[in-house]
Amino acid sequence: MQVRYVRHEDYQFCYSFRGRPGHKPSVLMLHGFSAHKDMWLSVVKFLPKNLHLVCVDMPGHEGTTRSSLDDLSIDGQVKRIHQFVECLKLNKKPFHLVGTSMGGHVAGVYAAYYPSDVCSLSLVCPAGLQYSTDNKFVQRLKELQESAAVEKIPLIPTTPEEMSEMLQLCSYVRFKVPQQILQGLVDVRIPHNTFYRKLFLEIVSEKSRYSLHQNMDKIKVPTQIIWGKQDQVRGVSLGLPATLAPASKDKLAVLYEGSLAAS
C-alpha cells in the first residue's frame, strides 16, 4: 500500500492505495470511529492483487484535515467522502464501497445519497441502525448522555484500566495486554480525545444516530452485511434485511461470523 495526499480546496485527505483502476471495480474502504486507514491492512493482504484498493482516513482522523469548522455529522462525513471520491475520479465508473462501524454508517448513507457512484456495498457491523431493544453498551451510553458524563464514554479511554476495558469490549478474543503497552496506547490517544468526544456526540446525536436506518430504503445496489455474533457494541441486527429496499433484498448476503469483532 502506498500513501498519498489529495486536496479539495483547503481540505486535505490522506489515503493509501494498491493497484490501478482496471476492468474490475475499484474498492473504497472506510474505517471506524477513532481508527485510521491502516486498520484495513490485515484485510487487504487477503484480497486479490489485481484489485484497485483505496483506504482513506476519515474526516479528522490521522492524516486527513481536522477542523473545528468541519461538519462531523454522518451527512457531513458523507459529503467529505464524496469530495474525496471526486478528487480521485474514483466514480468515473461505479466502485465497491466497504465500511465498518462508523465507516459502515457513512458507507450505507453514501450508497443511498450517491447511487450512481456505487456498484455494490459491504457493511461490517455498521452503526446507524435502530433496535427494538438496547444492548448493555447502548443503555450505558444513554445513561451517560442523561447525566452529561461525556468524559466517561467507553470508547474514549483516558487510563490504562479504561483502555483494557475498551479492548475487551471491542474484541471477542480475550488477551492480556501488559500495563506498559496499555499506558502507551492511552498516551497516543489522549491528545485526540477532545476531537473524539466531539465526533462521538455528533454521530450519536438525534440528527445522525439512525441515519443509515432512515435511508436504508434508498440503497439499491447488491449489499453484503458481515456481523460478529459476539459484538458487544452494536449487536447483530436480525431485523436489518427487512429494512432494505426490495431491489437490495433480492441481492442481499448476510454473514454472521463468530470470529469477527466490532471495531
pLDDT by residue (tens digit) across 11-40?
999 999 999 998 999 999 999 999 999 999
Give yes or no for residue 262 having a pLDDT over 50: no
Written as nine digits, the cell of 51 is 484489485
CATH (domain of 92) = 3.40.50.1820
Work out the average pLDDT over 85-107.
Answer: 96
Q: Tell me, yes or no, whether 161 lies in a domain.
A: no
Q: What are phi and psi of 129, to 5 degrees?
A: -110, 150
Q: Would the pLDDT of 241 be above 50?
A: no
Report if residue 193 sits inside a domain: no
pLDDT digits 0-9 by tens, 194-205: 999 899 889 888
Q: Domain for residue 138, yes or no?
A: no
In-domain check, residue 188: no
Instruction: Check: pTM over 0.85? Answer yes or no.
Output: no
Name the domain count of the chain: 1
User: Does a structural domain hold residue 262?
Assistant: no
Residue 66 lies in a domain: yes
- pLDDT of 139 > 90? The answer is no
What confidence score (pLDDT) does residue 21 get? 93
218 pLDDT above the threshold of 60: yes
174 in a structural domain: no
Residues spanned by the domain of 213:
2-133+209-255
| 36 located within any domain | yes
